[in-house]
Amino acid sequence: MTALARSINLPESLCAEAERQFGSRFQNIEELLTFVLQEVTRNDSTRLDESEEKMLEHRLKELGYL
């Protein structure tokens, strides 16, 4: 991996169970965890929340209430 990386410690038994369950899809624990973290930190949903909040704020400002 060429990007900056961080080392973390995880219980061996947990890693072994993850490898048992998902080993056929992911090469190793790093690949599995990278996939999971990428998925749970996707922020396209939150970006829509933020833009919708801004739209309502803008509308209330238009009406002179903010």
Partner 1 sequence: MNAPSLILVTVDCLRADHVGFLGYARPTTPFLDSLACESAVFSNAIVAGAPTYFSFPAIMASRYPLALGRDVVGIAPGEPTIATQLNAAGYATAAFIAGNPYLTSRFGYDQGFDDFRDFLAAVPDEEQSASPTNGVPSNLNRRIRSLASRTSLTGAAYEELYFRYCQRRVARENISMDSLRRYPAAHIVIDQALSWLAKIGERPFFLWIHLMDPHHPYYPPEEALAALGTPMSSQRARFLNSFWARENISVRRLRHYRDEVISLYDAGIYWVDRQVARLVNALKEKSRWDQSLFALTADHGEEFLEHGQRYHSPVNLHEPLIRVPLLLHAPELKDARLTDAPFSLLHLAPTLLDAIGAKPSARFQGRTYWSRVSANDLSDEPAIVECVDGCNNPLYRKDRVRHRLLAVRGRTLKLVVNFRDNTDCLFDLERDPGETSPLSPNSFPKERVRLLQIASSHVQTAYKKRDAELRIRAMVRGLQQAVREKISHTRP
Query: Residue 27, interface with partner 1 (CB under 8 A)?
Result: no
Query: Residue 16, interface with partner 1 (CB under 8 A)?
Result: no
Of the two residues 6 and 25, which places its CB atom closer to partner 1 in the complex? Answer: 25
Report the chain's C-alpha Rg in angstroms: 21
- Judge contact between 32 and 22, C-beta under 8 A: yes
Query: Residue 24, interface with partner 1 (CB under 8 A)?
Result: yes
Please report where in the chains the tokens 């961080």 appear, as a residue: 6
Count of residues touching partner 1 (by CB under 8 A): 24
Q: Whole-angstrom Cα distance, residue 55 to residue 37? A: 30
Query: Residue 61, interface with partner 1 (CB under 8 A)?
Result: no
